Structure 1
Amino acid sequence: MTQKPLFAFIVCMLCYLLGGTASTLMSVYLPVAIPELLQRTPTEQELGEIGAYLSSSSIFGWMIGGLVLGVVSDKIGRIKTLAFATALYGFFTLLVVFVHDWQVLLIYRFFTGMGIGGVLLVSTVYISEIWKENNRPVILGILAVAFPVGIVLSGGLNVFFDYWKDAFWLGILPLILSVITLFFLPESEKWKQMQRLDNQIFKSLFLQENRRSLFYGSAIFGSVLVGLWGIFSWLPTWVQSLLGNTSDGQTERGLTMILLGVGGIVGGGLSGFLIQKLGAIKTLILTFAGCILACGILFLTNTQFSKIIYAEMAFLTLFLGISQGALSSYIPALFPVNIRATATGFCFNIARFFTATAVFFVGNLVSFFGGFSNALLSFSAFFVLAIIATFYANKLNES
């Protein structure tokens, strides 16, 4: 292995990591950012509705970035697209420092999500094309762990910066990385050899034998993603609601985001060993059941904040982390090799459309269910759907 692939991996990992931070930074600061932008204290329902708009906007952008910039990278190259996507989320993260109303923030979060969606896809494809085959799965696993590390960083920034806008100066770093990417990273030789997509791939994608796998793959990943983001995006705000007026919540919200990231890191690392021991189907079903149990414990037993919540959140985020690692292995295996990358990208990004749509209604759910606890608990129902879809997908593969 030459020094160039190693340097390229480090740059891609930093782009990936900061994408994790940029994607979650607004969630951790939401309870203090919205009152400032509104110039008044919002009701719980208002906070839920505005937060839902912001989360949905980001995820819609993520979906479009994953779909559109993936195609763009096949046309103009991995490096140019990766540099553009990194600059995109860095620029619009930086603009938050100067925002004065939440409607403009909505636009900024969309383009931030678009850049992050592009970075996660293109960096993974790029590293898979330049890295040696014998240890490629290991290096891609390390790359994936960078995202939850970025989530931990967002929690750390919340603890470090008292004023929420100061944390968004973080956007300068992706802008610097985009310049390094454009001028110092080598283009993929495999992309140079295959600059045109084979249209036969898209024809094969929707053949009868693959349509069911596309449906079940999208259903499983989509259900988990809706449950994960519906809960994940709102945990800091839920913590703040339990604190009431007893604390400004800065430390508690920061520790919440750190736990979310740590759960992703540990769970993602365990997922491969669990699949080797139990198999993919048993691992997924047990993991989804664990998510349901953890949600019940967390949201049904706490009416005010106490330190036990940290342990219960760690229990939940461990299962969420395992689910993401296991799905990254399971979903591609549903498809034949010749369409595996295209089909997996389809499942992942179509799922984000449903996720953004579901998260959009969190504000209404807060009002309907009478508070954040019941609203977030309702999202655990999507893990039940994931179990059902996994069961039927397994039946399809056995037949």
Structure 2
Amino acid sequence: MKEVHSPVSTKDAITRGMQMTLLAGFMGWMMDGYEQALFPTLAGPALKSMVPSDVAALGSSAINSWVGGWMGWITSAFLIGAALGGAAFGWLGDRIGRVKAMSFSILFYSIFSGVCYFATDPTHLAGARFMAALGMGGEWALGVALVMEAWPERHRSKMAAAIGVAANLGMVLVGCVALAYPADGHSWRIHFLIGASPAILTLLIRLFVPESEKWERSVKKEAAGPTPTRSKIEEVFSGELLGSTLAGIAMVSVVFVGTWGAVQWIPLWVSELAGPENPRAKALAMVIVSVGACTSTFIAPLLLAGQPRRRGYQLLCLFALAATVWIYRTPANWSGTMLFDIFPVMMAVKVFVLGMAATAFFGFFPLYLPELFPTRVRATGQGICYNTGRSAVN
């Protein structure tokens, strides 16, 4: 008897709403990546354009010290803002819905990225970066919750791959813009203005992206039950969810502490190796490391989907350790065959591998963190885990 294959069930069919959800999330994450990579690329020219005359009179050593100090302060402000935003906008997403809260978070970071254009003092820049980070930290958690709840279980690893790739494409975009339009004491402002462009995305999200049905069912179920005695934030830090929250924070913290410096300081490291006569090397380094990151964040969730989550995390840690030992135990040599007459090929290979090793985790976390929390507190829980872990590098 001939076997009859039934079509894909309605429950598992890919709908237009699911496609729009993925598109909105992908664009939001991509601009998150742009926002995150923007300051390390622009810090030098932006801060040097703000050096006070009394510091400038002391010479290049004093200028570099002043710039480095302010870069540390502004980076810290950004990370603290992301941690607070992850909790605040995650809580909002569990209260009013993923779509509304995600629209607010994207609009928030877009506005304050644009505000950086008008900064005339490092304190202005620090304040604007802090405010932009509030929205950026919230968008990651809300987008992950929305997409993972909208798509069927069988597509979860593919969605995690898309999330990981999107943010790193944003970093590629930073490098490409910097290559085409090198940042100097004046043009750095235009790069921040580009960061305001996702504001347009908020209108498209509100018009075309449906709310999470899982969240809507969870709200109805919660409304029909007894009045909750705890807030969403209190809930993730108590009872049976406390262990999941602490484990998530610890795992993300380890990754950020181990990888943030390796990636975020690459532009400055390469700039010093290449020298002032090769200003495009820093931008190309950002492109290379981001292409490596895109590769690993796409592959990691697909390869690890069938593995126990703990084993998958351990494998990624071993890969990162092996790559870091290889890269930093061999001399950095700015010579040999050149890529595009800008970058030594061997150095490009090292930077590419570093990008892969340091960022593969960011394709794994969208697969893992949503599984730790029920729908009613998912955005809050994973927002706290991811962004508190991010702030650990302070």
Letter in 1 for 2:199: L
Q: Is the 8 A contact 2:106 2:198 kept in 1?
A: yes
Alpha-carbon distance, 1:337 to partner: 9.0
CA distance in 2, matches of 1:91, 1:268: 28
Q: Secondary structure at the match of 2:198?
A: helix
CA change 1:13–1:99 in 2 (3 A) is: same
CA change 1:61–1:45 in 2 (3 A) is: same
Q: Is the 8 A contact 2:98 2:212 kept in 1?
A: yes
Q: Which residue of 2 aligns with 1:190?
A: 214
Find out whether 1:315 has 2:346 as its counterpart: no
Alpha-carbon distance, 1:343 to partner: 4.6
Q: Secondary structure at the match of 1:11?
A: helix
Find out whether 1:68 has 2:94 as its counterpart: no
Letter in 2 for 1:45: S
Show CA shifts across 1:25-80 (max 9, x none): 11112222211121645544333221111211111111111110011122222222
Equivalenced residues, count: 354
Q: Which residue of 1 aligns with 2:392?
A: 354
The structure 2 residue matched to 1:263, chosen from 265, 285, 292, is 292
Q: Which residue of 1 aligns with 2:77?
A: 57
Q: Which residue of 1 aligns with 2:129?
A: 109
CA change 1:174–1:2 in 2 (3 A) is: same
The structure 2 residue matched to 1:126, chosen from 112, 129, 146, is 146
Worse-superposed segment, 345-354 or 16-25: 345-354
Letter in 2 for 1:295: T
Find out whether 1:229 has 2:231 as its counterpart: no
> In the TM superposition, what are the counterparts of 1:211-230 in structure 2 within 5 Å?
211-230=242-261
CA change 1:353–1:321 in 2 (3 A) is: closer
The structure 1 residue matched to 2:68, chosen from 5, 28, 48, is 48
Identity, % of aligned positions? 25
Q: Secondary structure at the match of 1:305?
A: coil
Alpha-carbon distance, 1:260 to partner: 2.4
Q: Which residue of 2 aligns with 1:146?
A: 166
Q: Which residue of 2 aligns with 1:20?
A: 33
CA change 1:60–1:334 in 2 (3 A) is: same
Q: Is the 8 A contact 1:148 1:260 kept in 2?
A: no
Letter in 1 for 2:272: S
Q: Which residue of 1 aligns with 2:22?
A: 9
Q: Is the 8 A contact 2:34 2:195 kept in 1?
A: no
The structure 1 residue matched to 2:363, chosen from 321, 325, 333, is 325
Greater Cα radius of gyration, structure 1 or 2: 2
Worse-superposed segment, 205-214 or 171-180: 205-214
Worse-superposed segment, 163-172 or 335-344: 335-344
Q: Is the 8 A contact 1:239 1:305 kept in 2?
A: no
CA change 1:279–1:8 in 2 (3 A) is: closer
Q: Secondary structure at the match of 2:50?
A: helix
CA change 1:285–1:239 in 2 (3 A) is: same
- Please report the RMSD computed on the Cα atoms of aligned residues, expressed in angstroms: 3.0
Q: Is the 8 A contact 2:117 2:190 kept in 1?
A: yes
Find out whether 1:179 has 2:217 as its counterpart: no
Letter in 1 for 2:299: L
CA change 1:310–1:339 in 2 (3 A) is: same
* Larger helix fraction of residues: 1
Q: Is the 8 A contact 1:214 1:343 kept in 2?
A: yes
Structure 1 gap segments, 5+ residues each: 358-399
Q: Is the 8 A contact 1:158 1:164 kept in 2?
A: no
CA distance in 1, matches of 2:198, 2:384: 27
Q: Secondary structure at the match of 2:120?
A: coil
Alpha-carbon distance, 1:113 to partner: 1.1
Alpha-carbon distance, 1:254 to partner: 1.2
Alpha-carbon distance, 1:277 to partner: 7.8
Show CA shifts across 1:313-360 (max 9, x none): 1111111232333344455666789977665444323212322x2xxx
CA distance in 2, matches of 1:333, 1:12: 18
Q: Is the 8 A contact 1:78 1:126 kept in 2?
A: yes
Q: Secondary structure at the match of 1:23?
A: helix
CA change 1:75–1:137 in 2 (3 A) is: same
TM-score using structure 2 length = 0.79
Q: Is the 8 A contact 1:31 1:240 kept in 2?
A: no
Show CA shifts across 1:262-321 (max 9, x none): 122211222235436875445433432433343344345445634122211111111123
Alpha-carbon distance, 1:147 to partner: 0.7
Q: Which residue of 1 aligns with 2:10?
A: none
Q: Which residue of 1 aligns with 2:102?
A: 82
CA change 1:53–1:138 in 2 (3 A) is: same
